[in-house]
Chains A and B, each alone.
Chain A
Amino acid sequence: MNALTRSPVWRGTAWLFGRLGLSGRGLVIAIPMLWFLVFFLVPFFVLGRISLAEPRIALPPYTPLFERGPDGSLQIIASLENYWFLWEDALYRNAYLSSIRIAVISTVFALLIGYPIAYYIARSPEPRQSILLLMVILPFWTSFLLRVYAWMGFLRREGVINNMLMSMGVIDTPLVMLQTDFAVLIGIVYTYLPFMILPLYANLTKLDSAHLEAAADLGASPMVTFFTVTLPLSMPGIIAGSMLVFIPAIGEYVIPALLGGPDTLMIGRVLWDEFFSSRDWPVASAVAIVMLVLVVAPIMWLQSVQNRRELD
C-alpha cells in the first residue's frame, strides 16, 4: 500500500467502482475491449450488413435490412448476391490474386533484406544497437505520404536513378520504373521494412550465443549453424515480421495509387473505386469483408500452429 492507494479519493473511487461490479483488473481489460468493440466489431457488422443489401440511388445508398411489405408484414431484405458477383467477375478475382501475389513477394523481399539487418543490429555491441535501431525507426518521423512521393522522384523517367545511370553510360534510354508493379513492390518493401526488422531484432537479440557456440563445438560450420540453429529459433520473429508486412501490404491503397500503373490491380484500389467512384456500397462492403477473411485466415492458422508448437 503506498500513499496513493491510501488516499481517500482513491479509496472512494475504488469503492464506487466496486459497487458497480468493476474491479481494477476488469477496468484495465475493459479499455482495450471497448476499443475493439467500437472500432472493429461494430464497423465490421455494419459492413457485413451493407454487403447483404442492394444498391439504390438514395441516402444511404443501399436498401434497408427490414422493410414493410405491401401487406404490412416485416420483410428482411438480404442476399449473398454481392458475394456471388465478386466470385463471378474476373476483375475482383484477379484483384485479390494480384494483391496476394504482391503482398507475398514484398513480404519475402522484406524478409530477405530485413533479416540480415536485424541480425547485424542484434549482434552489434550495446551502444551501437540503439543508434542502429533509431536509424531503422527514423523514417517514421517523416510523413508516410512524403516518403512515397520521394520514391516517385527517384523512379521517374527523369528521376534520380535514370539520370544517374544515363550519365554513367550504363543505359541510353531511361528505364520505365514508375507506374509498374516493380515500383509498387519497392514502395511496399521500403515502407514496411521496419515492421519486419523490429520483431526479428527482438527475437534475435534473445538468441543465446551459447547455442551458436554449441553448434560450432559439435562441428557445424557457421553456415550450417545458421540453417540448423539460428533460423529455426528465430521462426517466431519471422512469422511476426511477415504478418506485420503481409497484412498491411495486401490491403495497401496509397502505394499502388501513387507508384503503380493503370494495370496494377490491387484490392485496396478496387475497394476505393467501388465506394467512391461507382458508389456501390454493398459490393464495396462485400469486397472489404472478403479481404478481411483473406487476411484473418492465415493469421488464425499461424496462431494455431504456434500454439501447437508451444504445447509440445
Chain B
Amino acid sequence: MTQHGSNQPIAAETRPWLDPEAQPFISIRGITKRFGTFTAVNNINLDIFRGELFCLLGGSGCGKSTLLRMLAGFEAPTEGQILIDGQDMAKVPPDKRPTNMMFQSYALFPHMTVEKNVAYGLLREGKSKREAYARVAEMLRLVKLETLAKRKPHQLSGGQRQRVALARSLIKQPKLLLLDEPLGALDKKLREETQFELIRIQESLGVTFIVVTHDQDEAMTLATRIGVMNEGEIRQVGEPREIYEEPNSKFVADFIGSVNLFEGRVEAAAPDLMRLQTDELGPVVTLPRSGLSRNQRIWVALRPERITLSRVRPDAATNVVSGVVQEVGYMGHMSNFRVRLDGGRVIRVTQSNRLRDEDPISWDEPIFASWSPAAVRVLTE
C-alpha cells in the first residue's frame, strides 16, 4: 500500500474535496439531534460532493442512522441546517425531498409484486402506467431481476430482496441515495459481490450515495470518503487510505483495522528523524512531524502488518525489540502472531505468507520485531 503515496496527484475532478473552490452538493451545518436528554447526533458539520460514495462508519448507537434519517426527512434536527443542492431541507417533508432511501430491513411492500414495488415511486410522480412499467423493466434488468418481476417479496432470497430494494430506491433517479446498512443482511460472499455491484451502479448512474455501515471492510471497499462516527460526533473524515494510514486519534486508529498503541513522549526532533521514548518499546525513531514539542505526551501507533519478525537480529540499530512468540494464527494468505516483548507487553503482528516452503516462525521461538521509521504513526489524542 505504501508504494502509492497519498500525495500522488489523482485527477482533481474525481476528488472535489481537495479543491477548496468546489461547491458541496450536501451541506450539513451544525446538526444536532436530541431525543429527550440523549444526544444522538452532536453538532456535525460535513460537506459531501456530487457523485461521491460517502460512508458513515461507526458502531451501533453512534448516531449514523439518525443522521441518515435526518437527511431523508424522517427525523427533524434539533439544531442546525441541512442543504441539498443549495436548498434548505428544514421545511421539506420526506415525500418532497430529492432523496431516496434504501432501508436496512429493505421495507419492501409485502402485498405488492417486485414490479409494483419498483413502480411505486414512479406512479406517485404521476407517470403513466405504461411509461412507469417500461422504466421498471429497464431497472430490473440493471439489477438482474427481470425474470422475477411477478414474484412477491416473501418468495425471494435475501440477496434478491436487497436488489429489489435498490431498484426501488433508484427508479426515481434521486439526486441523493441514502443506504442504511445496505449489505448488512447478506452473507459474506454475496456481500463482497454486491459491494462491487453497488459501485458499478453508482458509477453508471452518477447518483450521490451516502452509505451507513458498521462494517469497516464495506466502508473501505465502497467509499470515496469515510466519516468515522462515535457517540454522535464525526471523529475523522477522509479517504479510506487516509483513515487507515493517518488516523487522527487513538479512537480512529483502533476502530479501523487493528493497531498496537504505546504511550510515550517526544525526546528530540532532529530535522530528518524524530526520537520518541516509550516505556514498552524503548526508544522509537520516526519521521519528523510538525506541531510536536519536546516532552509532549504522544502515542505510537504501529499496524500489525508493518512489523517484521525475524530470527536473527536486523542490522538496524533502532526500532528493534526482542520477544517470544506466544500464539500463531494461520489464516492461509497470512499469519497472525502475538508476541510477548521482553518488557511483558504483548503485541499483534501479521506476516503475509509469501513463500510456500518457508520455515515458519512458530510458538515459543525467541524472535526480533522491527519496523521502519515510516511505519510509525504518532498520535496526540
Pick the contact of B95 from A216, A232, A233, A312 — CB < 8 Å? A216
A contact residues around B93 at 8 Å (CB)? 216
* Binary CB contact string for chain A from 209 to 229 against chain B (1 if under 8 A, 0 otherwise): 011011111111100100011
The chain A residue with its CB closest to the CB of B116 is A228
The chain A residue with its CB closest to the CB of B174 is A217
A contact residues around B121 at 8 Å (CB)? 218-219
Pick the contact of A213 from B94, B99, B110 — CB < 8 Å? B94
> Is B333 among interface residues, defined by CB-CB distance under 8 A?
no
How long is the Cα–Cα vector from A216 to B105 in the complex, in angstroms? 16
How long is the Cα–Cα vector from A117 to B21 in the complex, in angstroms? 56
User: Are A217 and B72 in contact, with the CB atoms below 8 A?
Assistant: yes
User: Are A210 and B107 in contact, with the CB atoms below 8 A?
Assistant: yes
User: Are B105 and A215 in contact, with the CB atoms below 8 A?
Assistant: no
User: Are B101 and A224 in contact, with the CB atoms below 8 A?
Assistant: no
> Is B50 among interface residues, defined by CB-CB distance under 8 A?
no
B contact residues around A312 at 8 Å (CB)? 152
Which of B73, B93, B94: most chain A CB closer than 10 A?
B94
> Is A208 among interface residues, defined by CB-CB distance under 8 A?
yes
User: Are B109 and A214 in contact, with the CB atoms below 8 A?
Assistant: yes
User: Are A219 and B152 in contact, with the CB atoms below 8 A?
Assistant: no
Pick the contact of A219 from B109, B110, B172 — CB < 8 Å? B172
> Is B74 among interface residues, defined by CB-CB distance under 8 A?
yes
User: Are A216 and B94 in contact, with the CB atoms below 8 A?
Assistant: yes
Which of B74, B152, B168: most chain A CB closer than 10 A?
B74
The chain A residue with its CB closest to the CB of B178 is A217
A contact residues around B103 at 8 Å (CB)? 210, 213-214
Known pairs A213-B94, A224-B124, A312-B152; A218 contacts B100 (CB<8 A): yes
* Binary CB contact string for chain A from 227 to 259 against chain B (1 if under 8 A, 0 otherwise): 011001101000000000000000000000000
User: Are A217 and B101 in contact, with the CB atoms below 8 A?
Assistant: yes
User: Are A219 and B105 in contact, with the CB atoms below 8 A?
Assistant: no
* Shortest distance from the beta carbon of A109 to any chain B beta carbon, whole Å: 26
> Is B187 among interface residues, defined by CB-CB distance under 8 A?
no
Size bracket, chain A contacts: 10 to 19
User: Are B99 and A208 in contact, with the CB atoms below 8 A?
Assistant: no
> Is B189 among interface residues, defined by CB-CB distance under 8 A?
no
User: Are B125 and A208 in contact, with the CB atoms below 8 A?
Assistant: no
User: Are B100 and A217 in contact, with the CB atoms below 8 A?
Assistant: yes
Mostly helix, strand, loop or mixed at chain A's interface? helix
User: Are B120 and A218 in contact, with the CB atoms below 8 A?
Assistant: yes
List A residues 162-219 near B (Cβ within 8 Å). 208, 210-211, 213-219
Pick the contact of A217 from B95, B108, B109, B125 — CB < 8 Å? B95
The chain B residue with its CB closest to the CB of A312 is B152
* Shortest distance from the beta carbon of A182 to any chain B beta carbon, whole Å: 37
How long is the Cα–Cα vector from A208 to B104 in the complex, in angstroms? 13
A contact residues around B130 at 8 Å (CB)? none
How long is the Cα–Cα vector from A208 to B107 in the complex, in angstroms? 8
The chain A residue with its CB closest to the CB of B118 is A218
* Shortest distance from the beta carbon of B32 to any chain A beta carbon, whole Å: 22
> Is B91 among interface residues, defined by CB-CB distance under 8 A?
no
Pick the contact of B107 from A213, A219, A235 — CB < 8 Å? A213
A contact residues around B94 at 8 Å (CB)? 213, 216-217
User: Are B111 and A219 in contact, with the CB atoms below 8 A?
Assistant: no
A contact residues around B73 at 8 Å (CB)? 216
The chain B residue with its CB closest to the CB of A225 is B95
* Binary CB contact string for chain B from 119 to 162 against chain A (1 if under 8 A, 0 otherwise): 01100110000000000000000000000000010000000000
B contact residues around A233 at 8 Å (CB)? 109-111
* Shortest distance from the beta carbon of A181 to any chain B beta carbon, whole Å: 37
B contact residues around A214 at 8 Å (CB)? 101, 103, 107-109, 168
User: Are A219 and B95 in contact, with the CB atoms below 8 A?
Assistant: yes
User: Are A229 and B100 in contact, with the CB atoms below 8 A?
Assistant: no
Known pairs A213-B74, A213-B94, A312-B152; A220 contacts B124 (CB<8 A): yes
* Shortest distance from the beta carbon of B109 to any chain A beta carbon, whole Å: 6
The chain B residue with its CB closest to the CB of A213 is B74
* Binary CB contact string for chain B from 70 to 89 against chain A (1 if under 8 A, 0 otherwise): 00111000000000000000
User: Are B125 and A219 in contact, with the CB atoms below 8 A?
Assistant: yes
How long is the Cα–Cα vector from A213 to B102 in the complex, in angstroms? 11
* Shortest distance from the beta carbon of A230 to any chain B beta carbon, whole Å: 11
Known pairs A213-B74, A213-B94, A218-B121; A229 contacts B99 (CB<8 A): no
B contact residues around A213 at 8 Å (CB)? 72, 74, 94, 101, 103, 107
User: Are A211 and B100 in contact, with the CB atoms below 8 A?
Assistant: no
Which of B96, B101, B108, B169: most chain A CB closer than 10 A?
B101
User: Are A220 and B95 in contact, with the CB atoms below 8 A?
Assistant: yes
How long is the Cα–Cα vector from A70 to B239 in the complex, in angstroms? 107
* Shortest distance from the beta carbon of B93 to any chain A beta carbon, whole Å: 7
How long is the Cα–Cα vector from A102 to B242 in the complex, in angstroms? 74
Known pairs A208-B105, A217-B94, A312-B152; A232 contacts B111 (CB<8 A): yes
The chain A residue with its CB closest to the CB of B119 is A218
Which of A216, A217, A228, A233: most chain B CB closer than 10 A?
A217
How long is the Cα–Cα vector from A218 to B73 in the complex, in angstroms? 12
Which of B110, B124, B152: most chain A CB closer than 10 A?
B124
User: Are B120 and A215 in contact, with the CB atoms below 8 A?
Assistant: yes
How long is the Cα–Cα vector from A224 to B126 in the complex, in angstroms? 12
How long is the Cα–Cα vector from A136 to B110 in the complex, in angstroms? 30
List B residues 350-381 near A (Cβ within 8 Å). none
How long is the Cα–Cα vector from A228 to B117 in the complex, in angstroms? 11
How long is the Cα–Cα vector from A5 to B198 in the complex, in angstroms? 56
How long is the Cα–Cα vector from A137 to B107 in the complex, in angstroms? 33
Which of A208, A218, A220, A312: most chain B CB closer than 10 A?
A218
* Shortest distance from the beta carbon of B16 to any chain A beta carbon, whole Å: 27
The 8 A-B pairs at the shortest CB distance, nearest first, are namely A218-B121, A210-B107, A219-B124, A214-B107, A216-B94, A232-B111, A216-B95, A217-B101
List 6 interface pairs A-B (beta carbons < 8 Å), by A numbering: A213-B101, A216-B74, A217-B72, A219-B95, A224-B124, A235-B111
- With A216-B73, A218-B100, A224-B124 given, can you name 9 additional A-B contacts, CB distance below 8 Å? A208-B107, A213-B74, A217-B94, A217-B95, A217-B99, A217-B101, A218-B95, A218-B121, A218-B172
